[in-house]
Each structure stands twice: as C-alpha cells, then as structure tokens.
C-alpha cells in the first residue's frame, strides 16, 4: 500500500466569501476579474483553470472515482469571490479592461457595472523600481508609511466586505532586478530598514510584508524579488502563512517545461535553444527597460538546467546555448508571439531542429492561474500549511523552494505533485503509478 497512513486533519471548511487582493490591476488582473464575473453569469467558461475544470483520480483505476477538483477539495466557489487591490493609476476595472484591450468590448459592456464597482486603492510606488511608469495614484510618505497604509487597506477591505479570509496575488509591473542584500536577510533587519526608508526595500516586498502581517497568504505572479527573501520567509513561518512564487508560467516557459522533459526522457541532446518574443502591452513596455528585463530573464533562463541536468549528462546538454529575448512591439498589444528555435541532436549526434511559434494571449493564459493560486493558497492556509508551497510549483516559472533543494520544473511532475498533495490533504491514498502487477492486481 502507498505510504499515506499518516493522514493529516482535513482543512477547515471554506469561507462562503473569499477576498482576492490584487497588487497591480493591469491586463492580467482585470482579465482575471472580468473572467470570473463572466463565468458567474454564464457568459464564458473558466478555461485553463484546474480548480474549475480539472478532475482528480482517487484510489485504484478500477474504482472509477474521478471527481472534479472543486467538488473534492473544499474551495470557495466563484460566486463567493470578492475583489480588491491597488494600482498606481486610478480609474476602475472597466477602464483597466478597456486599456488592456484583451477582452471584447461587447463582453465588457455586459459586465460594466460590476467592473466599475472595483476601484484600485492608491499604490505604494517607487519609480526607481519601474522606470517606464509615472504613477499618479500613489501613497504619500516613506516606506514605513506605505507598509502601514497597505495594512490598513487590507483591514478596511475586509471590514467593508465582511470578510474573514483574503489572499493576495502580485500582478504588478516587474520591478528592476535586485540581489539579496543585508536588509533582506532577517526580519529584524528588514523592519529596521523599513523604518530607515532604505531603498533596497522594494514596493513588492512591502505588499508581501503587509499581507503576511495581516494573516493573508501571498503569491507573486511577477519575477520581482518579494516574499522570496529570508526576512519574509521568517515572517511567514512565524505567523504560519502560506506563500508562493514566482512569475506565472504561461507561454513560452510553459512550452519549455513540456518539451525539455521529453528530450531528457528520450535522451536526445540539445545544442541550443533560442527564444524570442514580441509583445506590445504595458508589461512589454516595462520589460523593454534592461534592468526590468533582467529580472524576467533570470526566471526564464533558470528552467532548462534543472530539467536537463547537464552535470549528469554533459554529452547531451553540457554545451547548450540558451538565449531569451523580449521585444516591445506595440502593434501586437497583449497578443504575444513567442518563437523558439531548438537545435537538438540524436543517434550518433545527427542534428535536427524544432521550431515553435506560439501565437498566444498573455493575459488569457495568466488569468486562470491567478484564480487557481488564490483558491489553493487559501486551502493551504486552512489546512494549516505555512511558508513556501512547493506543491504549487506547477504555476511558476521560477518556483520557490526550500534552500536545500532544487526547484522542480517538469510540468508533469509538478502536476503529479499538486494532485498528490491534494489527495494527502484530503486523507486519500497517494497515487504511485506502480501499475497493476504490484498494486492493483
Ligand atoms: N502571461 C502573462 O501575462 C504573465 C506571465 C508571467 C508573469 N506576468 C507578470 O505579471 C505582471 C502583470 O502583467 P500585466 O500584463 O498585467 O502588466 P500590466 O502592465 O498590464 O499591469 C501591471 C499593473 O501594475 C501596476 N503597478 C505598477 N507598479 C505598481 C505598484 N507599485 N503598486 C500597484 N500597482 C502597480 C501598473 O500600473 C499596471 O496597471 C507583470 O509583472 C508580468 O511580467 C505576466
């Protein structure tokens, strides 16, 4: 029998209403909220969301138990979600959707009243971190003022909406690349640095700090350095709050983490992998700035090494040349095009090429991830889990892990891990795929 004898206590029941706080209410956030409104009214389906459409097998294959994940795990239904958040530009979510130009205007008209009711609170912003934007709807004061104001916003949002539970998802612009510094290494140093208005404390860190201090699970959909610093992990541990990150795995990296495991599984060599993108939304504009692109480049480059393990297979992957580019090209808006040229080799070293041309829609791919992460992080919180939620690696380009282990990037291992964690949380046997000869016979 599989080793799931030690069964955990089941998660506490879901709240009827769950608040989802969005840091940054641009293309991804507005497409996500509009999509939930549309799905609630039967105007569209939440395609791409594992929590809404996925099933999970339980027990033996012969048991024929395959419930929907949303019926198996106690998750707040779409009807119970309440939205709030911050942006450095004012307006409301209807305007954000119109600016983003992701969704059809006929759909937006039907959702106008609901979308207009969600208005971003003023953002905590330091222009040094996002050089292309000039925020007009920003909090006054210094870092301590911003942290306190963000915390007050969370409390007010909960009170206004009668909420007991909230989750925060960072959907804000990518900040400039930042290395871990002295102020990030312990909670005491971090809090002292906030008081000193130390500029190495980024806005993204302040949102994560505010979330944790208010008991709100936090997910980082961007490459910015945020909860992935020792100071905030210490806080998450101390207050027993789940965190996850970072950088939603949506387009090109999603493809990469499917193709690379296949090369590795078949022991095919890879000599080079050239990835380039054209993208014309505000995210593309921000990433046109080299220091902001560097943060994205780091999360995009990381995946191949851990999947292919060149140290174990120097003859197949030791000379791999990996390059990633993002080009800002306004005519495309949110409809990104991602090209990959992959130079592989097979039997006796004979070369072959694969070309991938993914004409995707950035925010359409990211929106269901925001939904799943919010629901799963709240579940993790109710199940008593704290700190980094590695079982949600499935959703990240650069999954956060404990310092002692490497990140798992293979999409299908990540999915197996996610589902086994759900089974474990709900007291079901884990599925080992041993097969009929050993287990099911
Ligand atoms: N497929 C995807 O779309 C995808 C995938 C992975 C990661 N991401 C990341 O998600 C983030 C959002 O992407 P997007 O396309 O919605 O970008 P966007 O530019 O449309 O939205 C970001 C919003 O954040 C706001 N903002 C900037 N700094 C802020 C601050 N300090 N406080 C509050 N708001 C702030 C901006 O005004 C903007 O409205 C980006 O960092 C992007 O790299 C997106």
Residue 225 DSSP one-character state: S
The angle, 0 to 180 degrees and rounded to 10, between the axes of the packed helices 203-213 and 187-195 is 120
**Calpha distance 411→258 (Å, rounded):** 6
The finding on whether 284 has its CB within 6 A of some atom of ligand 1 is: no
Structure tokens at 20: 């989802």
The reported pLDDT for the residue numbered 35 is 98
> pTM for this one?
0.94
Query: Ligand 1 atom closest to Cα of 100?
Result: 20
Burial class (CB in 10 A: 0-12, 13-18, 19+), 434: exposed
**Ligand 1 mean position to 346 CA, how many Å?**
41
Q: Which among 108, 127, 101 has a CA at the least distance from the CA of 280?
A: 101
Q: What is the pLDDT of residue 4?
A: 46
Please give the pLDDT value at position 440. Answer: 47
Domains in the chain, start-ordered, CATH in brackets?
A: 18-248+364-425 (3.40.50.720), 252-359 (3.30.360.10)
Q: How far is the CA of 90 from the centre of ligand 1 (A)?
A: 15
C-alpha to C-alpha distance for 383 and 36, rounded to whole angstroms: 25
Structure tokens at 370: 């925001």
pLDDT for position 439: 47
The CB of 366 under 6 Å from ligand 1? The reply is yes
Mutational pocket test of ligand 1: of 34, 98, 173, the residue with most ligand atoms within 8 Å of the beta carbon: 173
pLDDT at 6: 67
Residue whose CA is at the smallest distance from ligand 1 atom 18: 26
Dihedral sign (CA 357, 50, 94, 244) = negative
DSSP 8-state secondary structure symbol assigned to residue 266: T
Distance 329 CA to ligand 1 centre (A): 17
Contact in structure between 289 and 173 (CB atoms under 8 Å) = no
Q: Could you identify the atom of ligand 1 that is nearest to the CA of residue 135? A: 37
Q: Which residues pair with 81 in a beta bridge?
A: 18
Mapped to the 3 state alphabet, what secondary structure does 105-164 carry? HHHHHHHHHHHHCCCCEEECCCCCCCCCCCCCCECCCCHHHHHHHHHHHHHHHHHHHCCC
| CA of 285, closest atom in ligand 1 | 19
* Tens digit of pLDDT at every position of the chain (441 positions): 444 456 788 898 888 899 999 999 999 999 999 999 999 999 999 999 999 999 999 998 889 999 999 999 999 999 999 999 999 999 999 999 999 999 999 999 999 999 999 999 999 999 999 988 889 999 999 999 999 999 999 999 999 999 999 999 999 999 999 999 999 999 999 999 999 999 999 999 999 999 999 999 999 999 999 999 999 999 999 999 999 999 999 988 999 999 999 999 999 999 999 999 998 888 888 888 888 888 777 767 778 988 999 999 999 999 999 999 889 999 988 888 999 999 999 999 999 999 999 999 999 999 999 999 999 999 999 999 999 999 999 999 999 999 888 898 899 999 999 999 999 999 999 988 776 555 443
pLDDT score recorded for residue 2: 47
CA of 286 to the centre of ligand 1 (A): 9
Q: Kindly report the number of other CB atoms within 10 A of residue 372's CB atom.
A: 23
Whole-number Å distance, alpha carbon 169 to ligand 1 midpoint, is: 11
Q: Is the CB of 88 under 6 A from ligand 1?
A: yes
Give the atom of ligand 1 at the shortest distance from the alpha carbon of 99: 20
């Amino acid at each position: 029998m599989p080793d799931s004898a030690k069964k955990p206590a089941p998660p506490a029941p879901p709240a009827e209403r769950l608040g989802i706080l969005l840091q940054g209410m641009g293309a991804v956030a507005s497409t996500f909220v509009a999509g939930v409104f549309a799905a609630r009214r039967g105007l569209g389906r939440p395609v791409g969301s594992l929590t809404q459409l996925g099933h999970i097998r339980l027990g033996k294959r012969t048991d024929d138990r395959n419930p929907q994940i949303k019926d198996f795990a106690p998750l707040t239904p779409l009807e119970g979600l309440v939205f709030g958040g911050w942006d450095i530009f004012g307006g409301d979510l209807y305007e954000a959707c119109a600016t983003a130009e992701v969704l059809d205007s006929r759909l937006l008209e039907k959702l106008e009243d609901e979308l207009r009711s969600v208005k971003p609170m003023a953002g905590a912003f330091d222009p040094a971190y996002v050089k292309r934007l000039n925020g007009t709807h920003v909090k006054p004061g210094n870092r301590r003022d911003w942290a306190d104001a963000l915390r007050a916003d969370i409390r007010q949002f909960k009170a206004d909406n009668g909420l007991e539970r909230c989750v925060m998802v960072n959907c804000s612009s990518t900040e400039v690349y930042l290395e871990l510094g002295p102020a990030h290494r312990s909670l005491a140093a971090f809090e002292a640095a906030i008081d000193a208005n130390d500029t190495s404390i980024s806005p993204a860190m302040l949102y994560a700090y505010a979330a944790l201090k208010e008991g709100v699970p936090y997910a980082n959909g961007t490459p910015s350095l945020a909860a992935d610093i020792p100071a905030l992990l210490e806080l998450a541990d101390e207050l027993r709050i789940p965190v996850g990150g970072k950088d939603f795995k949506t387009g090109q990296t999603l493809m990469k983490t499917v193709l690379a495991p296949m090369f590795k599984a078949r022991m095919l060599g890879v000599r080079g992998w050239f990835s380039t993108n054209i993208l014309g939304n505000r995210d593309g504009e921000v990433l046109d700035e080299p220091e902001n692109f560097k943060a994205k480049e780091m999360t995009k480059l990381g995946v191949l090494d851990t999947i292919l393990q060149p140290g174990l297979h120097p003859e197949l992957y030791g000379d791999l040349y990996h390059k990633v580019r993002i080009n800002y090209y306004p005519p495309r808006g949110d409809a990104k095009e991602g090209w990959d040229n992959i130079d592989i080799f097979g039997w006796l070293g004979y070369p072959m090429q694969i070309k991938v041309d993914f004409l995707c829609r950035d925010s359409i791919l990211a929106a269901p991830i925001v939904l799943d992460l919010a629901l799963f992080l709240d579940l993790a919180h109710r199940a008593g889990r704290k700190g980094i939620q590695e079982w949600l690696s499935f959703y990240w380009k650069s999954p956060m892990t404990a310092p002692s282990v490497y990140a798992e990037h293979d999409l299908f291992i990540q999915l197996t891990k996610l589902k086994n964690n759900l089974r474990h949380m709900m007291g079901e046997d884990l599925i080992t795929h041993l097969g009929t000869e050993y287990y099911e016979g």
